Structure 1
Amino acid sequence: MNDEDDPSEQLPSRQSDLRRAIDKLRKINASLMKRVEHSMDQQASSFSLFQTAINQEAQIRRRTEELNLALTKLAQTNVELSKARDEAERANVFKTRFFTAVGHDLLQPLHAARLTLSELTDAQSETDNKRLALNISNALVSIEELLTSILDLSKLEAGVFVPNIQSVVLEAIFEQVASSLEPMTRRKRLRFRWRPTDLAVRSDPLMLRRIIQNLLANAARYTEEGGVLLAARPRGDDVDIEVWDTGPGIPQQEQYRIFDEFQRGTASERSGGAGFGLGLTIVRRMVDALGHRLELQSRVGHGTRFSVFAPSASTPKKYAQSPRALGEESNYLVARQVIIVDDDLTVLTAMQTLLSRWGADVRPARDLEDVGEILSDPAFSPAIVLADYHLDEGIFGIDVVRRIRRRVASDIPAILITADRTEDTAEAALRSRCELLLKPIRPSELRALMKHLLG
């Protein structure tokens, strides 16, 4: 038997080979297990990512639905807000038109009443009758102030007031507002002074005049002793228009509140509750609309100063007027020939009587036909025309003035009288070289303007 075939000798070698094979298989198995475990880990991670992605997709879908719902609600809200805005704008337009129409209808009889009352007052000789006439006049003034304030506020809120910025000569405005304030200060025995000035500003002439008028009226209303002063002075690039009074003053805690609607302060209570608390509100809103600046300084027991700062402007060369004293008396209307045109017979009669008492030779007319008959008289040559702005049959006072000026071949002075407070009316009067008075006119204001125009 050969040694190589001896089983006892081959057994250890086979066992060794078998161990190596087992070790190799173990290593292979371990490696395979690691790979399997790694693969399972990757699958688990991928599954987790998959689940996360599914969850995120669901969240995104929910968020998208919520966003779409919010956008839909926002669109609906915008539509509702747009409708509400349109309704509010329509309501504002309606309110403005309503107040303008009502204001015109109310101002017309007030205009006639003021003219007739002026005639009645002048005709009275007994003290008691004059006192009663004065009480009626004060009541009419209160109605006029309230109505005018409501009209102004409604137009400011509706944005109807659009400033017409131009160079404004302050002395011309000072003369006009002084003539309208003088009767009140004379009745209360207050000293009223205004300083002549050659300054001019960049502003809207009608709005600036209204601002100064309200400040002066406020000062005179609450001042019982002393006086009121109107002045202007340069302040850098601006002009400071100042209204001083020696009234009771305004406490510090009330100095902001008085610019709110229907706020009058303790001074009003001491003066018997005069006024409606709208004057300073209109001043503040008009100053803001013009881009000017308003300042207030006051000491209780000493008085108050309001200052309006407006941009300075160069004074037009054509303006070379010298101020007239408020108390100056002259026979400027004696034998002066005047045409007055109005389609309201009551107003026409009252105006004719008033001017006749001032010494004028008055010819009344209700339409263009009457004007033609008046001008056919070769002995009549009008020195001035007073015409209502809106006449019957769509005729305007401007048309009448043009017709008269052509017939007499002269650019004679003319005053248009109207309750229409729009910028279009003011600009039309300016283009036609006519002065404008707003109803109801004050006789003293009319007298001062006519004296100014007739020289």
Structure 2
Amino acid sequence: MSPQTNAAMASLRLAIDHIPQGIAVFNSGLRLVTSNERYNELLQVPEELIKPGTPLFDMALYLADRGDFGPGDAARLAIERINQLTAAPMTVSQRLGNAGQMLEFYSSRLPDGGLVISFVDVTSRVKAEHELARLNHSLEGHVAERTAALTRVNAELESARAKADAANHDKTRFLAAASHDLLQPLNAARLYTSTLIERAKSTGLADLANSIEASLTAVEDIMSALLDISRIDSGALRPVPAPVSARDLLKKIEVEFGPMARERNIALRIVGSDSTALADRTLVGRIVQNLVSNAIKYTMPGGKVLVGVRRRGNRIRLDVIDTGIGFNRDQHKLLFAEFSRLERGARMAQGLGLGLSIVQRLVAALGLTLELDSREGQGSRFSLFLPATRTVRAPIETGKVPSETSFGVINLKILCVDNERNILEAMEGLLTHWGCDVRTALSLKQIDREGLLDGWYPDLVLMDYHLDQTSGLDAIEWLRHNLGGHLPAALVTADRSPAVRALAEERGIAVVTKPVKPAALRAAISGLANQTGRMAKRVG
């Protein structure tokens, strides 16, 4: 793997080590794949037992010998404990730890036969529960004492809850701050890989380049899923509903999923509507993206996927319908469980089993309704219901969004500004390969100091948001003031917050999220080029 990929993986591991729960993953042979620092800290086992490849039985045998599982034959106790953890697709159990603390274990079987074990110290909660139980048994004659004790216990519970909320808030804030640093090296690696893929066509390196791209995509999916789940569960995602046209919700589906559908020989059809919904455009878009992605992944070549909108009374129904493998009613709950995938689906496509879990969380956070109907072997229908409204805010006109195959060589002058040199190098390599005249800078000071714009007027600007001394939005305003207010620009950022997107829209600036996908970048550049063409006609 490239240095950028290794850096991204190391950053992801650092983020996982900050999660307060102990987590370990075992393969189908029940041998350790990885564990985080909290897992090793709470279990207090020798270092040789937390090395990758260690059998789960060896770890259980050590704990049994130490007395963690109570009195009895250590080997028998170890086998019983493993059976308890693997007896069902999901299990929950409690036991005392080596230091006398109460530990609560959660185990989940993976589709390939592997096992995920997580646990947390619940000593304070259990003590509070026991104290409440004791007090409830001695109510008579001790009203005053009971009231005082309950007040004290409730205060302790409130304090524990406040601490848990604070820890959750700190975790969310950490992940939000870390996401930028996590995505930066991954973005550079994606850009380098995109250039490599295009240059390696019809060579022996093509398969290797595509394998690297697939690995980077998997890392990006894991990071996005972890960040999404963390934001939703902590309440950091706050919906901002606004009138949005149904066509506006669907207009990016063809660009984003058209290549994927064509590659799998699947007919993707988008049917819009003139209806208007009251919805958070970004969060509803995330729901639709996950549903369409699943529909394409689990539909056989030659099949069909339909994404359509229709009015139903005072609501709008958005359907994602496929002719894929389907599922039966008994599997509904399993579909939305984390790290859970149906056996046939796991054989068809790679994945973590987090997509529909995120969909369910988003639907609940937005207060929406999701219906599903499916027949095994015949296909599925997921229907999202949105409140309808009569008014719609006029969208900022950025030109028609083309499909990623609508143009080849791009003959444009493009200025790229980013505070990461490796990202600039990767972006310059990709854009130059597309036929662009590219100039790059780490800051506005460098542009001014080196006279990069003397005698050279860019057709458009690609600007990072988090610069060292200013924001990308202010930097674009500075360029427009000095070069002309009509200068088309796109914000290229790892910050996916609705606030940044809203600020960009107010200033007529497009947004491209990192890690940058070549098709999305081409579409954004084409839209900005259309702005340049329209402005040139007005001036002419």
Shorter-chain TM-score range: 0.7 to 0.9
Shift of 1:199: 3.1
Which residues in structure 2 correspond to 1:191-340 (within 5 Å)?
191-225=267-301, 226-271=303-348, 274-313=350-389, 314-316=391-393, 326=403, 328-330=405-407, 333-334=410-411, 336-340=412-416
Q: Does 1:189 align with 2:286?
A: no
Q: Which runs of structure 1 show a deviation greater than 6 angstroms over 4 or more consecutive aligned residues?
A: 319-322
AA matched with 2:508: R
Q: Does 1:369 align with 2:451?
A: no
AA matched with 1:90: A
Please give the secondary structure, in 2, of the residue aligned with 1:256. Answer: helix
Q: Does 1:135 align with 2:135?
A: no
Q: Does 1:418 align with 2:493?
A: yes
Tell me the equivalent position of 1:396: 471
Tell me the equivalent position of 2:149: 73
Report % sequence identity. Answer: 34
Give me the whole-angstrom Cα distance separating, in 1, the residues matched to 2:347 and 2:340.
14
Residue 333 and residue 170 in structure 1: after superposition, are their counterparts in 2 closer, same or farther (change >3 A)? farther
Backbone CA RMSD of aligned residues:
2.4
- 1:339-389 CA-to-partner distances (Å, cap 9, x unmatched) read 111011110011112122222222211101233367774542222211111
Residue 138 and residue 302 in structure 1: after superposition, are their counterparts in 2 closer, same or farther (change >3 A)? same
Tell me the equivalent position of 2:519: 444
Tell me the equivalent position of 1:31: none
Gapped regions of structure 1 (runs ≥ 5): 1-61
Give me the whole-angstrom Cα distance separating, in 1, the residues matched to 2:404 and 2:224.
28
Where relative contact order (Cα < 8 A, 6+ residues apart) is larger, the structure is 1
Give me the whole-angstrom Cα distance separating, in 2, the residues matched to 1:304 and 1:192.
15
Tell me the equivalent position of 1:48: none
TM-score, length basis structure 1: 0.80
AA matched with 1:250: F
Give me the whole-angstrom Cα distance separating, in 2, the residues matched to 1:428 and 1:176.
20
Shift of 1:323: 5.6
CA contact (8 A) 1:375 1:381 kept: no
Residue 425 and residue 119 in structure 1: after superposition, are their counterparts in 2 closer, same or farther (change >3 A)? same
Shift of 1:256: 2.7
Shift of 1:196: 4.0
TM-score, length basis structure 2: 0.68
Please give the secondary structure, in 2, of the residue aligned with 1:416. Answer: strand
CA contact (8 A) 2:404 2:522 kept: no
Residue 403 and residue 375 in structure 1: after superposition, are their counterparts in 2 closer, same or farther (change >3 A)? farther
Larger radius of gyration: 1
Gapped regions of structure 2 (runs ≥ 5): 1-137, 531-540
Tell me the equivalent position of 2:56: none
AA matched with 2:495: D
- 1:93-135 CA-to-partner distances (Å, cap 9, x unmatched) read 1221232233322211110111110000000133542122111
Residue 178 and residue 217 in structure 1: after superposition, are their counterparts in 2 closer, same or farther (change >3 A)? same
Pick aligned residue for 1:177 from 233, 247, 253:
253
Give me the whole-angstrom Cα distance separating, in 2, the residues matched to 1:374 and 1:443.
29
Residue 84 and residue 403 in structure 1: after superposition, are their counterparts in 2 closer, same or farther (change >3 A)? same
Q: Does 1:348 align with 2:427?
A: no
CA contact (8 A) 1:418 1:437 kept: yes
Shift of 1:409: 2.3
AA matched with 1:189: N
Pick aligned residue for 1:82 from 152, 155, 158:
158
Shift of 1:231: 1.6
Q: Does 1:358 align with 2:434?
A: yes
Please give the secondary structure, in 2, of the residue aligned with 1:387. Answer: strand
Residue 91 and residue 362 in structure 1: after superposition, are their counterparts in 2 closer, same or farther (change >3 A)? same
Which residues in structure 2 correspond to 1:96-107 (within 5 Å)?
96-107=172-183
Shift of 1:338: 1.5
* Aligned residues between the structures: 391
Give me the whole-angstrom Cα distance separating, in 2, the residues matched to 1:453 and 1:349.
22
Q: Does 1:164 align with 2:240?
A: yes
Shift of 1:160: 0.3
Give me the whole-angstrom Cα distance separating, in 2, the residues matched to 1:375 and 1:382.
13
Residue 376 and residue 63 in structure 1: after superposition, are their counterparts in 2 closer, same or farther (change >3 A)? closer
Give me the whole-angstrom Cα distance separating, in 1, the residues matched to 2:486 and 2:397.
19
Please give the secondary structure, in 2, of the residue aligned with 1:228. Answer: strand
Residue 125 and residue 332 in structure 1: after superposition, are their counterparts in 2 closer, same or farther (change >3 A)? closer
CA contact (8 A) 1:199 1:315 kept: no
Give me the whole-angstrom Cα distance separating, in 2, the residues matched to 1:95 and 1:378.
46
